[in-house]
Structure 1
């Protein structure tokens, strides 16, 4: 006669998954000796992701559609195009991360996003050089100073500038069409903290909208256009570099920027100048546009430059 065996089930190391305790179960699976910051980050992501799913209550078909969307975003990424960053941009996450990481004292120039078309090591130019190499657009002269938060000039600061041409494209988007380094350059402030250069009036342009992120914008009833702007990185020894834009106040998309990059403090005044003599001195036709814009740098207190000095 066979002996009966009694097996007592062991208590599980982790509680079993239920809808109610899903966050606790998932987060309990993390090891005891993992990086503390990784534990904090992943624990928070799991908590909020599960909360969103419980609030939305997606069907299996909706969940699969979301998976397919993220797969398409990944397939769209190449060495020169990062669709996941674009997704972060249009959801406002890029601007939020930038804001959190660039809290500065009152009066210092505010940051905004770097954008995907920055190219390091642009040519260094003498003051007043015209960086508009294709001759398109309405002529513009930009002048200003780089100051510290006490209002003192910062000599030797580097003012790295780039923008689209009048067709709404950066030079790297039109290799062989635009001249290399079109509408890019680096200028150095003098003993008075002054800089100036010639360019063309910026115009709005669409972010790449031929992929899944563009389709998402269309589904949400949103356009892909960025407000007209000029990019700057301003850096100097001993100061936090500022990555920022100046925006044209007459742009129709100023309050609808597709990546939420506009800040009130970065809206410049563009003056239309009708003076024939001044235009001639600048080798411009009249009328032309003029902007006076000062940058205020905060003293460096932590970390390294997030973008190497050109």
Structure 2
């Protein structure tokens, strides 16, 4: 394998992988090398351009922390997250569609009783959310676990505030015996993904905006059913057709009607105008 050149290097690299015991890893690495080399040949990649790519990836990694995942933003904005998600989430007609996870989920979010205010002090107009979780056969799913999270009215998630000492606008709840849920939060608004780093600079050079349409995140789990990761989007949002991370599905767009101050759905008196959202989720049974 001496004196390799642009015509022989690809096969030489693949030959080094031939003895890899993990068949799936060998398949992935073989395809990765083939496509990377084909890309470099197709665009006639220069050394200067390749070093610039390495610099970009280095800066992307350096931007990551326990509160920010720049590589997920990169994957999201290139459509790769949606592609992988779509490949892994083929569901029968009638099931709620999945969409991208996003970079701001937090494991073990605070647990709340149904009807609680999960905003926990986050800035935004009041919003009362309700709905149900059922199986594809219509069976109500009692005690299904819902994780909910969202940005505040300024477009930031709680973990983006360095000095915040409590989690806000996120929480974990369980459906009741009839598969129903309800809670209070704040109105979802459109917001830009973090664009002060390498991904933001990439979008700017591509002539793209960083905005996401208003949405509420959900992760829903119930015994015997596939976990659902999805959003619910506000109908009429300006960015529904140009979501920076390609996450919108028409079936996930819902009305968020505005109500004047008065009696809220939970029976309390709301002294300012408020919004409501009702959405029913349909889970797919686990495959045997």
Asked whether the two chains share a fold, i.e. TM above 0.5, the reply is: yes
Q: Is 1:149 paired with 2:136?
A: yes
Q: Separation in 2 of the partners of 1:35 and 1:228? A: 43
Q: 1:62–1:276: structure 2 CA closer, same or farther, 3 Å change rule?
A: same
Return the offset for 1:70. 1.9
Does 2:28 correspond to 1:41? Answer: yes
Which runs of at least 4 in structure 1 moved beyond 4 Å after TM superposition?
none
Distance 1:216 1:135, change over 3 A: closer
Whether 1:105 and 2:92 are equivalent positions in the alignment is: yes
Q: Is residue 239 of structure 1 aligned with residue 225 of structure 2?
A: yes
Note closer, same or farther for the CA distance 1:35–1:216 as it changes in structure 2 (3 Å cut).
same
Separation of aligned partners in 2, 1:277 and 1:241? 35
1:1-310 to 2 correspondences below 5 Å? 14=1, 17-134=4-121, 136-177=123-164, 180-274=166-260, 276-278=262-264, 281-301=267-287
Distance 1:285 1:235, change over 3 A: same
Q: RMSD over aligned Cα, in angstroms?
A: 2.1
- C-alpha distance in 1, partners of 2:156/2:195? 14
CA distance 1:159–1:79, change in 2 (3 Å): closer
In structure 2, do the counterparts of structure 1 residues 135 and 115 end up closer, same or farther at CA, with 3 Å as the change threshold? closer
CA positional deviation for 1:17: 3.4
CA distance in 2, matches of 1:184, 1:76: 24
CA contact (8 A) 1:15 1:25 kept: no
User: Is the contact between residue 160 and residue 187 of structure 1 (CA under 8 Å) also seen in structure 2?
Assistant: yes
| Distance of 2:65 and 2:173 partners within structure 1 | 32
Instruction: Specify every segment of 5 or more residues in structure 2 that has no aligned partner in the other structure, as ranges.
Output: none
Name the CA distance, whole Å, in 2 between partners of 1:30 and 1:122: 42
SS of corresponding position for 1:137: coil
Please say which of residues 273-282 and 37-46 is displaced more in the overlay: 273-282
Q: Secondary structure at the match of 1:192?
A: coil
Q: Deviations over 1:50-97 (max 9, x none)?
A: 111111112332222222222222232334333222211111111211
Structure with a larger share of its residues in strand: 2
Task: Write the distance in 1 (CA, Å) between the matches of 2:142 and 2:155.
Answer: 33
Query: Would the aligned equivalents of 1:279 and 1:286 in 2 still touch at CA under 8 Å?
Result: no
Q: Which moved more, 1:19-28 or 1:93-102?
A: 19-28
Q: CA deviation at 1:203?
A: 1.0
After TM superposition, give the deviation of residue 222 of structure 1 in Å: 0.9
Bigger Rg, structure 1 or 2? 1
